[in-house]
Structure formats: structure tokens, C-alpha cells
Structure 1
């Protein structure tokens, strides 16, 4: 039986995860007049490169190629593959977004706007999807129809794993899941500024830095998740990444861009606020 507190936890967690990027968007629009176009491109790139192109590759390597299907059953290789895939697709997407779709919008605030769009749409869609799916499953469990309704659609071992997870996890777990989106969004904003700086300065090595940073965090999180380590240890790693990202946003990143103010941003004018 799924308790009421667990359901409250999943709803509050989702609200937290969705509210944070919206609050950032409103704050930066009011105080910095960040660009709607940069926000939109950030969201579009995440959808196109992460949810379409990257997932298409996953279908092949995780379902159809039997060699990689077997190889990626090993936690280390699975985490390495997942981290590199996310890093390459999302950071190359960022580079393309700034390089070709935001030619006139390459100021510090445009990097912030892009990151809010990229990390924000990820947070909203993940939270909405998680809540919708889990609430449906929880309703079935409480009604005693979970196995009868899903038995013919999902393998028995996977079905049992889903059910046990929903029964074991409580209020704090789901609230923590929503809190996780806060450092994740900050991390996306930081990476957006790293990539944008590389585009502005014409130094592609910054794209490599962003790929490696993204891949490293995703690798550690995925590996520890596969090894089923304590969830609070797992979230502490994400929190640390978020704190470091915030420090970067407030100090080094601002310094990088302020030092370039007198230089032409790779042949284009500074970002506008439209």
C-alpha cells in the first residue's frame, strides 16, 4: 500500500523541481532582461539532441545490437556509455546552438538564458513524466490491479522491481528527487557559459571541457545508482556539482566574459535582449 505521505512527497518534489527553473526565468527576465530566443534555443536543443538523437542511438545500442546490449549490462560500462552519450550530444548541441542559431546573442546573460532553457525544460519534462507515471502505478498498486493491468506489457522481473521500488521509497526520497533538479539546472547553466565562452573566443577546447565535465558527473551518478549506494550520498554529489556551478557563475564566468567586453565576440555583436 502506498501511503498518503509518499504521494504528498512525490507531488511536492515535482513542484520544487518545476518551480526552480520558472523562478530563475522570471528573476532573470525582470532583472537582466534575458533573451527569450536564447531560452527557446536552449530548450529546443535539449529536446532535439537529448530526447531525439541521443535516444535514437540508445535504441540501437541498448536494444538491437546484442554485443553492446550484453556489454552494457556491466554497471561500469553502462555508466561510461551513458555519461559520454549525454556529454557529447548535449554539449555539441549547445555548441551548435550558440554557433549557428544564436549568432547575435553571445553575451554572459545569453549564456544564462540558454542554460535556463536547456536545464529548465529538462527539469519540467522529467518531473511531469515522473509524477504522471508514478501516480498511475501507485493508484494501481493501491487498487490491487498493478499486476493484472501491466502483466502482459512488462516483463515479470521488471514489474516486480518497479513495484518494490514504489513500495520502499517514501516521502523524503521523492522530495529529494525534486530538490535534485536545482543543482542540475545550475550545472546546465554553468556548462552553457563554458561552451559559449569557447564559441566567443573560437577555442573548441572549451567544448571538450564541457563534454568531459558533463560525462564525468553523469558517469559517477549512473555508476553509483547502478551499485545502489545510499541515495543521500548520491544526491550529495549532485549538490556539490550545483554549488561549484553557482560559484563558477558568480565569479570566474563573469570575469571571463567581462575580460572579453572590448573584443569582438567571434565576429558578432553582443547579445541583445529581444
Structure 2
């Protein structure tokens, strides 16, 4: 099927494969189901304070989705292409901004919102909420949108809808949508792996910040900031340098190592001190 517009641009519509759409469904289910499962699991195992989960959700939305985005709008507008076109500057800025806003938000949550409920169990619950809402907003919403768009493309509805747009808009929209059928199907299955790593990291960082507030060890807060920056920095720098599967596997290994280190530092050390 083709659509020819006034500027003689021929758009050849592909079909989004069933394998790709299954990957989108898995991503959507995981982004919704995993946070809920973690919240219930942590509550049943530890009797953690349930509101801590929703505090984690709220802090992420407020600090990462609102305040951090305002910062990006200002900084990237003022600097123009200086940061955007330099991958090293972009990685440094992005990592610093994410670490600053999210770790400050985490510190505020532990210091004030969880002041009367500051336990490791509640820090776990907070981390599940913080990472869980991130998974839903980033992966869940995009997967839902991709699924609906893919269904419209495969059903021919998107092609008909495009005829109402101006030729220039048609071309831009077409190139944006073509990613859905040109992206290898396996990449849609890597997104859930990335979110599992992200949620695990958010929980580990929440435990570190909890420890910093509970014990007064500022080094633990600095460690949370540094680890958050390092992971985000490496993600941006490596994204265009190595295959996506290698990046996600590498991040999974790094995050697993961080989780083990935090567990030994906070849990094992605390048990030995008793």
C-alpha cells in the first residue's frame, strides 16, 4: 500500500510483526504487574508501611517528571546544540540532573515523609513505588501507545488517517511511525529487561539513602548520587556504541553487583554490628 502526496513523497507502509506486538504486550504487563507484585510481596513478607509505596510514586513524579523536566527545558534551551550535539556533555548533564533531582527527592522523602516510619522495610516499599511508577510512565505508557498505533497500522486505519494531514506533516509522522515495523522484534523484549534493572537500582538506591538518613552516614548519600550518575552516564554513552542487547545485559550485571554490594553493606553489616 502506498500514499503519494503533493510533494511526490511515496510512503511504503510496512506491517508490525506479531512478535513485535507480543513484546509490546509483555512490556505493558510487566510495567503494571511487577510494581504491584513487588508492593504486595514486600508487604506480606515485611508488613511494611503501604503508604511508603505511594510516597515513592509521588516523589518520582514530582522530582523526575516535573522539576527535572523544567530544568531540562531551561538548560537545553539556553545551551542550544552545545549539550545536545555532544554525547559526552549530554551524558554528563543527563546523569547529573537525574541523580540530583531523584536523590534529593529520595532524601526529602526519607527525612520528612517517612520520618516516623523510617525502617529498611519501608525503604524497600518506597523503592518499589519509586521504580514502579517510573516503569509504568516510561515503559507502560509507551507500550500502550505502540500497541494501539501498531493495530491501526496493520489494519490500514493509520494510512487513511494520514490523508487528513499536510504533506510535510505526513512525511514527518510516517518516519516516526516506521520505527514500529523497522525495529527488530527482539528489541521490544529488551525493554522489560531494562525496566527490571531500573526498578532494582531504584530499590538499592532507596536503601542507601535510607541508611544515610537513619545513621547520619553522608557517604551513603554520596554513594547513591554517584551510582545513579554513573549508570545514567554509561547508558547514554554506550547506547550508540554497542548493540542494545549488550547494553541491557551489561546494565543488568552492573545493577546486580550494586544490589549485592548494598545488601552486604546495609543488611549484613547491620547484622554483624548487633
Q: Indicate which of 234, 240, 255 corresponds to 1:242.
A: 255
1:42-81 to 2 correspondences below 5 Å: 42-62=56-76, 64-65=77-78, 67-81=79-93
1:1-274 to 2 correspondences below 5 Å: 1-62=15-76, 64-65=77-78, 67-142=79-154, 143=156, 144-145=159-160, 148=163, 159=173, 162-225=176-239, 227=240, 229-248=242-261, 250-258=263-271
> 1:266 maps to which residue?
none
Call closer, same or farther: CA 1:69–1:154 in 2, change over 3 Å: farther
Contact 2:94/2:233 (8 A) holds in 1: yes
Q: 1 CA distance for matches of 2:112 and 2:222?
A: 18
Call closer, same or farther: CA 1:149–1:221 in 2, change over 3 Å: farther
**Alignment deviations for residues 39-92 of structure 1 (CA, whole Å, 9 cap, x no partner):** 121111101000010011111223x32x34433221111111111111110001
Q: Which moved more, 1:126-135 or 1:4-13?
A: 126-135
* Two-structure CA RMSD over aligned residues (Å): 2.5
Q: TM-score, normalised by structure 1?
A: 0.84
What is the total number of aligned residue pairs between the two structures? 257
Between 1 and 2, higher relative CO (CA 8 Å, sep ≥ 6) is seen in: 1
Q: Which moved more, 1:69-78 or 1:27-36?
A: 69-78
Q: 2 CA distance for matches of 1:151 and 1:93?
A: 44
Q: TM-score, normalised by structure 2?
A: 0.84
Contact 1:2/1:138 (8 A) holds in 2: yes
Q: 2 CA distance for matches of 1:98 and 1:32?
A: 18
List gaps (5 residues or longer) in structure 1: 262-274
Name which one, 1 or 2, has greater alpha-carbon Rg: 2
Q: 2 CA distance for matches of 1:14 and 1:168?
A: 20
Contact 1:197/1:257 (8 A) holds in 2: no
List gaps (5 residues or longer) in structure 2: 1-14
TM-fit CA distance, 1:206: 2.1
